Amino acid sequence: MATIRERSPGVWEVRVFVGNDDRGRPKQVSRTVRGTKRDAQRAAAEMTVAPPARSDGRMVADALDAWLETHTPTWAASTVRDQTSRASLVKADKIARTPLAKLTVADVDRWHSRLRAVGVGESSLRNQHLVLRASLSQAARWGWVSANVAALATLGRKTSKPRSAMSAVEVRAVIEAAERFDPAAGVAFRLAAITGARRAELCALVWTDLDGDRLTIDSSIEIERNGSRSDRQVPTLRDAATKTGNQRVVRLDERTLEAVAALRAARERYGPWMLQPGERPLNPERLTGWWRIARRDAGIDPRWRLHDLRHWSATEAIGRGHDIRTVAGRLGHANPAMTLRTYAHALDGADAGIAATLASALEDTP
């Protein structure tokens, strides 16, 4: 049974009887609804049908801790570090001391306002919000809360221009510059451009990953930092799953196969790793160091990052008319929608081709 009371214009209090407590006294749960009476009636229906959430006095901080504890065993070391840091930032605010049962959308919106007021950037704010949202989503699945209020909060979208892509001339120049100081660096950057592989995935490649013209990408190198800022120690490099946990097989062109074959003939006898002699894989940070040297020697714009070879690969493929699903598979995206969101700007070239094709059809005479 539910009761609805308008506390002020457009603000409704919905109360639902959910049974008796241990002493036989009636228990109710309430929710504040902003909107029309129909919205309040809809909320009353949901509360009547759904079982009541049992937060048992838990705070937002408890939901964050439970979320970290649940997912840490399956996360990469870098992900554990990043998400733990973001959760700590959320817990530093008073929202973390709010009882889950009393947390509202307004509380989350006010939290956003506090962060902006002290100068927190939009990127950091978004990362913290996503952590809170994920932890409350788990809390909802576990029955600790009846709804994920963070999913309903307004998080302004930052307007930004799509990142531009390197030119083919720049990509060739940086590969050639890399080849001059280390053939392995040249192979690494050519593979990054041809396959769209991520930095850590390149470092995890072994000779047996190549079968004919098919390259299997199924792992990545994680860096586990040891020591402290004042006491640097040799990092631990761990062969782990790819970012999305998926294995993919990509085809290589003849020129790339020749470059890999030449490197293999010279270095395979020294160890299993494609880009590094010996028993240890190449440290991803060393690969970034190679990039800086090659970028300088090639004389290209210093704003270009190693990751921009991956962006060039995707942008060029989509711009030349290859379908999104195939490009997504090659990049290792879990969902083609991710590829479409990231590289929508690359469709402009393909769209111009469609216009030309349709115009040509109109001009054809029967």
Q: What is d(CA 183, CA 334) in angstroms, rounded to the nearest whole number?
A: 32
- By C-alpha distance, which of 201, 194, 209 is closest to 244? 201
- The answer to whether the beta carbons of residues 136 and 148 sit under 8 Å apart is yes
Q: What is d(CA 356, CA 351) in angstroms, rounded to the nearest whole number?
A: 9
Q: How far are the Cα atoms of 199, 260, 316, 350 from residue 167, in angstroms, in the given order? A: 20, 23, 9, 17
Neighbours of 21 (CB within 10 A): 9
- The answer to whether the beta carbons of residues 335 and 304 sit under 8 Å apart is no
Neighbours of 115 (CB within 10 A): 20
- By C-alpha distance, which of 78, 71, 82 is closest to 223? 78
Q: What is d(CA 268, CA 16) in angstroms, rounded to the nearest whole number?
A: 71
Retrieve residue 96's tokens.
């973390």
Q: What's the pLDDT at 237?
A: 72
Tell me the H-state helices in the chain: 37-49, 60-71, 77-91, 105-117, 122-141, 149-152, 168-181, 183-195, 199-203, 254-267, 284-298, 308-319, 324-331, 336-342, 347-363
The HSE-up count of residue 32 (CA atoms within 13 Å, CB side) is: 14
- By C-alpha distance, which of 294, 70, 300, 267 is closest to 189? 294
Superfamily of domain 60-152: Tyrosine recombinase, N-terminal domain (1.10.150.130)
- The answer to whether the beta carbons of residues 62 and 139 sit under 8 Å apart is no
Retrieve residue 206's tokens.
């072994």
pLDDT tens string, the chain, 366 residues long: the values are: 678 888 888 888 888 776 666 566 777 778 888 888 888 888 887 776 655 556 678 999 999 999 999 998 888 777 888 999 999 999 999 999 999 989 999 999 999 999 999 999 988 999 999 999 999 999 988 889 888 999 888 776 555 566 688 999 999 999 999 999 999 999 999 999 999 999 989 998 999 999 999 999 987 776 666 555 566 566 677 666 666 557 889 999 999 999 999 999 999 999 999 999 999 899 999 999 999 999 999 999 999 999 999 999 998 988 888 888 899 889 988 788 878 777 776 666 667 777 777 777 787 655
Residue spans of the domains in the chain: they are 2-49, 60-152, 168-304
Task: Map tokens 């004042």 to a residue.
Answer: 230
Quickly name the fold that domain 168-304 has.
hpI Integrase; Chain A (1.10.443)
Q: What is d(CA 45, CA 48) in angstroms, rounded to the nearest whole number?
A: 5
What are the DSSP calls for 306-340, one per residue? TTHHHHHHHHHHHHTT--HHHHHHHHT-S-HHHHH
Task: Map tokens 């079982």 to a residue.
Answer: 51
Contacts for 115 with CB less than 8 Å, ≥ 6 apart: 93, 124, 125, 128
- By C-alpha distance, which of 193, 194, 200 is closest to 219? 200
Q: What's the pLDDT at 319?
A: 84
Q: Hey, which residues does 319 pair with through a beta bridge?
A: none
With 0-12 / 13-18 / 19 or more C-beta atoms within 10 angstroms meaning exposed / middle / buried, residue 219 is buried
Q: What's the pLDDT at 18?
A: 64
- By C-alpha distance, which of 353, 352, 349, 326 is closest to 339? 326
Collapse the DSSP code of 90 into the 3-class scheme (helix H, G, I; strand E, B; otherwise coil) and give the result. helix
Retrieve residue 270's tokens.
């020294």
